[in-house]
Amino acid sequence: MRLGKCPQFVVHEHHSSRLHYDFRLEIDGVLKSWAIPKGPSMNPHDKRLAIAVEDHPLEYGYFEGIIPAGRYGAGEVVIWDAGKFVPLNDPAQGLDEGRLVFRLEGRRLHGEFALVRFTGRRKEWLLLKKQDADADVTWKIERALTPSGAKF
């Protein structure tokens, strides 16, 4: 998935049994992934639950389509946002210690963010937007797909 020297991120809008957003960061040759039920936010007052899920191969960053009924995650998947992922601390150490700080440079998401793991939990994290020049307290998430599955 890498297009240049910087690692990449991708956010998939995933219409499975429940709408959620798959947040993926390129770390150590894979896409580290979290499911975010309410989606990411540019509002620093929002704290978004992010559940760690299995890693995905880098090629999955390009995936858009329909996962067939009967398969895990069945439903429509579309790239909601993508761009550069710039770690501000060591990603491996941050994942291990439960605090990953980074900058995103995408179409929708930009500026500084942090993923912070709940104490004593393995999979439960919070995705937080840092208070910076890119923060927007009026920000509301917009779907990439209409309820009928057509792209906006």
Ramachandran bin of 120, using left for φ above 0, alpha for ψ from -120 to 50, beta for the remaining angles: left
Q: Tell me, what's the pLDDT at 3?
A: 47
By C-alpha distance, which of 41, 11, 25 is closest to 137? 41
| Domain definitions of the chain by residue range | 8-129
How close are the terminal C-alpha atoms of the chain, in Å? Answer: 24
CA distance 59 to 69: 22
One DSSP character per residue, 98-135 reads TEEEEEEEESS-EEEEEEEEPTT-SSEEEEEE-SSTT-
Query: Which stretches of the chain drop beneath a pLDDT of 70?
Result: 1-4, 146-152
How many helices (H) and strands (E) the chain has is answered by 1, 9
pTM reported for the whole predicted model: 0.89
Q: Tell me, what's the pLDDT at 151?
A: 52
Q: Tell me, what's the pLDDT at 72?
A: 79
DSSP, collapsed to helix, strand or coil, labels residue 97 as helix
